[in-house]
Chains A and B, each alone.
Chain A
Amino acid sequence: MVSRRVECSKQLAAIAAKLRVDVMEMVFRVQTGHLGGSLSAAEILTTLYYHQLNVDPNNPDWPDRDRFVLGKGHAAPALYVVLADLGFFPREELKSLRQINCMLQGHPDMRKTPGVEMSTGSLGHGLSAAIGMALAARLDGKHYHVWALLGDGELDEGQIWEAAAYASFSGLTNLTAIVDFNRVQLDGPTDCILCMDPVADKWRSFGWNVVEADGHCVDSLLKAYEEALAVTERTGKPSVILAHTVKGKGVSFMEGQAAWHGGVPNAQQYEQAMKELTQQLELRGDCGCSR
């Protein structure tokens, strides 16, 4: 079953706008957590969880569910907002992000948080773990699809390319990777730290189909998912979606700034950020569809 599959792209955009407000609120409350990469992944996570993935919040271990692995585990705040909103666990938990004796760890913990498929956060593991899930599906004759969201900084890790080679060599057609391509890593712009360009050519040379998308445009993402699945079906090779995004998207003073990879706002900055994010939410508003 698909839980609350949302078709209307205006509505998906509104959900993403609300997600940003929730993420900002939760990280500000506890004064810890990664905002930049959470804000850049808002539309990607929204389109996956509200439209694409076949998951059941009432039965998180359903064997036939689609799998989602958050390779860039530091975007956990965004994932937690989505999972709570879908009902995997009570929204109340969001208030105690990263706090002692609480469910929501700094990075995703598959044993503590319903809906989290893999304990991630140490960069480079996620794509390989997704491959393992895809291989298991093939062995079991199951038809679920595995999605892995990677950071573009994460592409620095050698393990990503071990995994990329192995996935295409294995002809995995039940696996899709998405790169949150925001061009900023912890220490600075990827262009200054370790530029991996030409990224699309690298993936192609490792045997993958490459689909490009605007990672903040819901329609572009939905189209990219369809195209990725279709081209994989046609070619027998896995696909990667390069979702072009902006780190810290939605907050003017955070956008494209490495300092907001792990930085948290003070009260004044928070006020400004919330003003901008709620304005965007109001602009996207209610599209008139019923959820």
Chain B
Amino acid sequence: MQPLTMREAYGQALVALGESNPDVVVLDADVSKSSRSTLFGERFPERFFNVGIAESNMMSVAAGLAASGKIPFVNSFSFLLTLRAGEQLRTGIAYPRLNVKVAGAYCGLSDSFDGPTHQDPMDLAVMRAMPNMTVISVSDSIQAKKVVAAAAAWPGPVYFRLNRNALPEVSTEDSPFEIGKAIWHRRGADVTLIATGIMVHRALEAARLLETDGLKAGVLEVHTIKPIDTEAVMSAARETGAIVTAEEHNIYGGLGGAVAELLVEHGPVPMERVGIRDTFAESGDYEALLAKYGLTSQAVVDAARKVMRRK
């Protein structure tokens, strides 16, 4: 069976959350058919606010709703939420720690054909620098549903990024999900691949490729970029003495940046980053873009070989 697109899974999870929690309200800025928040709007029209193409207003309206006891889920493309309305998010929500959940749709390069105007290789860096903000990068559709429930239960502001497309699943309904707790897919001996989002699946493929050469690569999924699971990352460094990070994001400021900061502070080991090399991408087929901009399992394999040579 073809997996659900992550956004469809997200929309369904919002409806389920709305059934169980009457305080949940949902806002969208005229992209509800894309973000799939429309599913919530159809089921709970009185708790759904489509503000039109006005993200800044939407973000501050959410602040007012949260200050009055509601749990708003704010929807639009990730770049609009983190940049256009990023100041409203910073001053009006992160600063007073208001209970707003920000769902960044079409993250990374996943809005591939729309091009760099709509793609977003920098949301994690922006959100990570915002005090009080919890930052999550979702790996598959099954996890998307768990993230919705966990974000609603988590006190204070949460940003989570969602992919536009149908992706290979890397978890099951039974896999545990806890904000701030990284997931070990396999332990390694020679290198650990620390991945987030779509790159978890590619890191798992890379580990299998390395295994055919007799190399034992661990795979650690870091879905919560902040607060990052320091203990898991440092145990990976101790176990394998070499780290590769992999993310659908600029190599600056996201998962790679966060892991590098931890390693330098707590116990440096050689590290390589797989990510977008500080460039805007272009329009095109999603898989083709991922290949051109270095987000493949082969790129992870190459980085792993390189980092092991540096040990």
Taking beta carbons and an 8 Å cutoff, which residues of A are in contact with B? 63, 67, 69, 109-111, 117-122, 124-126, 128-137, 139-140, 158-159, 162-163, 165-166, 169
Contact = CB atoms under 8 A, between A and B. Distances in A.
A242 B26 CA distance: 33
A140 B66 CA distance: 13
Contact of B67 (A109, A133, A140, A158): A133
B60 A139 contact: no
B61 A128 contact: yes
Given A125-B60, A126-B60, A132-B70, 6 more contacts: A125-B88, A131-B57, A134-B64, A135-B64, A159-B56, A166-B51
Contact of B92 (A118, A135, A163): A118
Residue among B25, B49, B67 with the highest chain A CB neighbour number at 10 A: B67
> DSSP class of B's interface residues: helix, strand, loop or mixed?
helix
A137 B56 contact: no
B57 A166 contact: yes
B20 interface: no
Residue among A122, A124, A125 with the highest chain B CB neighbour number at 10 A: A125
B92 A129 contact: yes
B64 A133 contact: yes
B149 interface: no
B62 interface: yes
B91 A132 contact: no
A165 B47 CA distance: 19
A136 B56 contact: no
A162 B67 contact: no
Contact of A132 (B47, B56, B67, B95): B67
Residue among A69, A110, A134 with the highest chain B CB neighbour number at 10 A: A110
Nearest to B27: A132
A159 B57 contact: yes
A153 B87 CA distance: 19
B144 to A, nearest CB: 26
Nearest to B97: A111
B68 interface: yes
A158 B85 CA distance: 12
Nearest to A119: B96
B91 A130 contact: no
B52 interface: yes
Contacts of B46: 139
Contacts of A165: 52, 54
B63 A139 contact: no
B215 interface: no
14 contacts: A122-B92, A125-B91, A126-B60, A128-B60, A129-B61, A131-B64, A132-B60, A133-B65, A133-B68, A134-B64, A136-B64, A139-B25, A140-B69, A166-B54
Nearest to A131: B61
A162 B49 CA distance: 14
A111 B96 contact: yes
Nearest to B49: A135
Nearest to B51: A166
Given A125-B91, A139-B46, A110 B67 contact: yes
A22 B306 CA distance: 68
- 9 A-B pairs closest in CB distance: A132-B64, A128-B60, A136-B68, A162-B57, A162-B54, A129-B64, A132-B65, A132-B61, A119-B96
Contact of B56 (A126, A140, A162, A169): A162
A137 B61 contact: no
B243 to A, nearest CB: 38
A110 B54 contact: no
A109 B96 contact: yes
Residue among A119, A124, A131 with the highest chain B CB neighbour number at 10 A: A119
Contact of A135 (B61, B88, B96): B61
Contacts of A140: 68-69
Contacts of A128: 56-61, 63-64, 88
Contacts of A159: 54, 56-57, 60, 88
Contacts of B91: 119, 121-122, 125
Contacts of B72: 132
B62 A132 contact: yes
Contact of B63 (A111, A118, A162, A169): A118
Nearest to B60: A128
Nearest to B65: A132
Given A125-B92, A128-B60, A139-B46, A117 B54 contact: no
A128 to B, nearest CB: 3
Residue among A120, A126, A159 with the highest chain B CB neighbour number at 10 A: A159
B189 to A, nearest CB: 48
A165 B52 CA distance: 10
Residue among A117, A126, A132 with the highest chain B CB neighbour number at 10 A: A132
Residue among B25, B69, B72, B92 with the highest chain A CB neighbour number at 10 A: B92
Contacts of B97: 111
A280 B66 CA distance: 42
A136 B54 contact: no
A69 B67 CA distance: 11
